[in-house]
Structure 1
Amino acid sequence: MSRLPQIDPATATGKAADQLKETQKALGSVPNLFKVLVNSPAAVKGYLGMNGALSTGALPFPVRERISILSAEFNDCTYCLSAHTFTGGKFAKLSEAELAAAREGKSEDPHVQAVLTLTRSVLEGRGQGGEAAVAAAREAGVTDAEIAEVVANVALNIMTNYFNELVDTEVDFPQVTPHER
């Protein structure tokens, strides 16, 4: 059970109701993450704004889903790993093998591999080691826009990873548990 209350979209009022309606419009549903995150309507608005902006960027949805899966695995976030494994398969059309590989930061596509290698570097180094990481990414053909968006996607995912783990959001997707280390 979540450590913060879930706000029911049917009974929400004020700014919470507005943000839950916006979530429904943006995503087509209201996952438990948003029912809990809406305890701060500003937090939901911030998430939706950044997620929406990144959806128009250089990194395509299937690549962003792989970044989300790798981040969730790295941060031991069951909720996010479950959500992005589901959405990665259903909406990004990633195969079971691609979903499993993303958890390990792997891809058979050399460009996607370079993006995931950079993602892992950002996660492991918490942004440190940039000179070598950026040089390696550029050498592998990752553009400057993609480099910036990797960091932005990692930051967005860390926010939801940490939030879901802190408040113990109830998983409302087929559950996928991070690997033990």
Structure 2
Amino acid sequence: MSDHFSTARVSLVDRTAASGPARALLDQIHGAFGTTPNMFRAVANSPAALQSMWAAFGALGGGVVGAALGEQIAVAVANRNACDYCLAAHTALGRKAGVSGEALAAAQSGESADPRTAAVLRFALQLVNQRGQVDAADVQALRDQGLSDEHIVEIVAHVALNLFTNYVNVALAVPVDFPGVKLRPGR
């Protein structure tokens, strides 16, 4: 687990000192957030990785899963991977997307009062826990909640993107620059 006041294990690229593709992407990110979150500053050490991450956020942000459910998936995956950074960021973004604090806290444990959301969070955590080795019944549980193949593939994409961000933040000890959220014990 990372220390909120740790020093990053890679440099945090200063947007105003960056050049080329990294600068252009960091300017877009700064425009979207009104600041440049530390995670993107760390990833900016590789313009290719930053472009990949930012494009994935953009593409999935316009998908069928929607912002609220996407943030609940992110919170569940972050909690499971003990990623303080992503848990804090996606709790803030989840609230901005209209998800209640109670629903976000439940999502940390892969739970929801809504059966459809609960099925999605269960599936997301199965993907993480079983390294993708889910079976037909796990996928069918999503279909039983009215989710299409488009939803199912997009849920896998959300989990994969969150694994990318979790690994960046945990492995590279990126300092949290969002309001902290307490991890919940795993089930």
TM-score per shorter chain, which class?
Answer: over 0.9
Match of 2:55 in 1: 49
2:40 matches 1:34 = yes
Paired AA for residue 138 in structure 1: R
How far did 1:29 drift?
Answer: 3.0
2:117 matches 1:112 = yes
Query: Helix, strand or coil: the match of 2:180?
Result: coil
Match of 1:174 in 2: 179
Q: Distance in 2 between matches of 1:133 and 1:49?
A: 29
Match of 2:154 in 1: 149
Match of 1:8 in 2: 14
Provide TM-score, normalisation by structure 1: 0.94
Q: Distance in 2 between matches of 1:171 and 1:19?
A: 20
How far did 1:14 drift?
Answer: 2.5
How far did 1:130 drift?
Answer: 2.7
Q: Distance in 1 between matches of 2:113 and 2:182?
A: 23
Match of 1:72 in 2: 78
Q: Distance in 1 between matches of 2:144 and 2:99?
A: 26
Provide TM-score, normalisation by structure 2: 0.91
Gapped runs of 5+ residues in structure 1? none
Contact 1:119 1:154 in 2 (8 A): yes
Paired AA for residue 160 in structure 1: T
How far did 1:129 drift?
Answer: 2.2
2:180 matches 1:158 = no
Contact 1:114 1:142 in 2 (8 A): no
Query: Helix, strand or coil: the match of 1:7?
Result: coil
Gapped runs of 5+ residues in structure 2? 1-6
Contact 2:109 2:184 in 1 (8 A): no
Contact 2:78 2:87 in 1 (8 A): yes
Runs of 4+ in 1 over 4 A off after TM superposition: none
How far did 1:180 drift?
Answer: 4.0
Query: Helix, strand or coil: the match of 2:36?
Result: coil
Contact 1:9 1:17 in 2 (8 A): yes
Match of 2:4 in 1: none
Q: Distance in 2 between matches of 1:76 and 1:133?
A: 24
Query: Helix, strand or coil: the match of 2:104?
Result: helix
How many corresponding residue pairs?
180
Q: Distance in 2 between matches of 1:31 and 1:93?
A: 21
Query: Helix, strand or coil: the match of 2:17?
Result: coil
